[in-house]
Structure 1
Amino acid sequence: MQIDSRRDFLRLMTQIAVSSPLILAAAARGESASPVAPQHFMLSANGWVPNNPHLPVLLYRQALSLSGDVTQQSEQALTHNGWPPQWVAGVFNFHHYHSTAHEVLGFVGGEARLMLGGPGGKTVTVHAGDVALLPAGTGHCNLGSSDDFLVIGAYPPDQHWDICRSAPTAAMRQRIATLPYPHQDPVSGQPQPLMSLWQQA
């Protein structure tokens, strides 16, 4: 698309903002309307935890608006962006993974230390406003959290999570490696940055 004037540029930026409630919320606070660039890292198979052989974990910092009804606004935004929520709760305090779904964790209250990748894996601290995208197979466990820790769990349409606490079968490994996902980033609502990071993996 060629942008020939300031008017064209403003029209384009308005279209992008309207397409994503999360970006629109940021713009309303006077922040950048650019998609949030997530941290990303691969996790290798770890004992009985398969992790994902092709897709990295994505961790978006301060991607959610923390004003107003944070939970309701975030649920609406994730739904709009192609990752409909299925629950609002916490994160289990035992190591587990999902073989039937990719998972978005939208942190809407408090903070926690999570271990990703299974026992002895990578420890991250998450705060209200952060979002994590865990590809199927990714081990995760709550090592400790504040009393007000609250999470939205969201998934691709027609995918429903299971709880796996032992090594996957060959069929489960195949499913983990080939599960489809929306071509919309859960935070920006646009193909990017999700499609660049997951297609390059």
Structure 2
Amino acid sequence: MNKADVETMGIPNNPDLPLLLYRGSLVDFTNTCAEQFKKNNWTNSWKNGVFDYHHYHSNTHEVLGIVSGEATITFGGENGEKVTVRKGDAVVIPAGVGHKRESASSDFQVVGAYPNGRDHDMKTVDSNERDALKAIQRVPFPETDPIFGGDGPLVEIWSNVNQET
């Protein structure tokens, strides 16, 4: 997603940080997925699916670990990109990036978590986008990658993005 796509149908997205998709990065599932995130200080975990409407979190980043099944999720709002995720994949969603489940297998389940166990807000296209964008820009940078820890791709990629802006 590029900066020109930041404001898409009431979803602010993130003007700087890219969504990260780790294909097949999870080898253990469900309870051990939450433990992997916890080991890397991504906590306040939950297990469920993904909502079937566009929403985002303006106050925290989020990781989704796909622990069973598969789904197609639109990231970035109404005109965003549709991505099929499967068991073993993980997605790191920067604060502000919209996500919506388009379709899913009957056994689709994810484990979600947040850096430093932050509480998340729930924003939709009806939310005040201007205020949300200000909040998104104040979200702290994660200290670790939820899958790979301090040396993970998130730390390198997002640090480099922050240096370029």
Q: TM-score, with normalisation over the residues of structure 1?
A: 0.74
Deviations 1:88-141 (A, max 9, x none): 000000011111211100100000000000112100000000000001100000
1:141 aligns with 2:108: no
Q: Is the 8 A contact 1:50 1:168 kept in 2?
A: no
Match of 2:60 in 1: 101
SS at match of 2:60: coil
Match of 1:185 among 145, 150, 158: 145
Higher normalized contact order (CA 8 Å, seq sep 6+, divided by chain length): 2
SS at match of 1:155: strand
- In structure 1, the residue matched to 2:41 is 82
Q: Which residue of 1 aligns with 2:82?
A: 123
Which structure has more helix as a fraction of its residues? Answer: 1
The correspondence of residues 160-179 of structure 1 with structure 2, limited to 5 A, is 160-165=119-124, 166-179=126-139
Shift in Å, 1:181? 3.1
1:194 pairs with 2:128:
no
- Measured in 2, the distance between the counterparts of 1:82 and 1:102 equals 13
Specify the code of the residue in structure 2 equivalent to 1:186. Answer: P
Percentage of pairs with the same residue: 40
8 Å CA contact 1:183–1:194 kept in 2: the answer is no
Describe the SS at the equivalent of 1:96: coil
TM-score by length of 2: 0.89
Within 2, Cα distance between the matches of 1:171 and 1:50? Answer: 10
After TM superposition, give the deviation of residue 169 of structure 1 in Å. Answer: 4.5
Picking from 9, 25, 33, the partner of 1:63 is: 25
Structure showing greater Rg:
1
- On the 8 A contact 1:85/1:152 being kept in 2, the answer is no
Structure 1 residues 175 and 196, CA gap change in structure 2 (3 angstroms) = same
Contact map agreement 1:102 1:156 (CA 8 A) in 2: yes
The count of aligned residue pairs is 158
Larger mean CA deviation between 165-174 and 49-58 belongs to 165-174
Alignment counterpart, residue 7 of structure 2, candidates 45, 58, 80: 45
Shift in Å, 1:82: 1.3
Distance between the aligned counterparts of 2:52 and 2:113, measured in 1?
19
Unaligned runs of 5+ in 1: 1-40
Q: Which has the higher strand share?
A: 2
Whole-angstrom CA distance in 2 between matches of 1:158 and 1:60:
21
**Unmatched 5+ stretches in structure 2:** none
Deviates more, 1:183-192 or 1:131-140: 183-192
Please tell me whether the aligned partners of residues 75 and 85 of structure 1 are also in contact (alpha carbons under 8 angstroms): no
1:182 shift after superposition? 2.3
One-letter amino acid matched to 1:170: R
111 and 180 in structure 1: CA distance in 2 versus 1, 3 angstrom threshold: same
